[in-house]
Amino acid sequence: MVGPVSGRPKLGEDDQEASSAVRRAYIQHAMAAFISESQKSTLRSLAKNMTSFLPSRFQSFKDKKKGAQPTSTAAESPRSDSSGDRDSTS
């Protein structure tokens, strides 16, 4: 009968390589997921910033595509309020 210490199988070189390969793959996956999420949030904030600078004529065109009844004063007045709020929070 083999004792408890000598009865335990030792990891061979192949097992150690497989274990480290799994560890590397997990780290690469975790880093890729983190990078992907940070890029998404960066692109989202960039898109929001870009749309805030659009002229009002593009805003009214966007409203037409949504099916809203655009009027020049209705399209411009919320934009002036929102830009004032954005400047005050910066």
What span, in angstroms and rounded, lies between the C-alpha atoms of 41 and 36?
9
Q: Which percentage of the chain shows pLDDT scores above 90? A: 0
Q: Residue 3: its pLDDT value, please?
A: 47
Which is higher by pLDDT, 75 or 56? 56
- Residue (of 90, 60, 64, 24) closest to 79 by Cα position: 60
Span 34-49, pLDDT tens digits = 777 777 788 778 777 7
Q: What is the pLDDT of residue 90?
A: 46
Find the mean pLDDT for residues 74-82: 50
| Structure tokens, 10 | 């030792």
Query: The pTM is what?
Result: 0.29
Name all contacts of 25-29 with Cβ < 8 Å and 24+ positions apart.
none
* Residue type at position 81: D
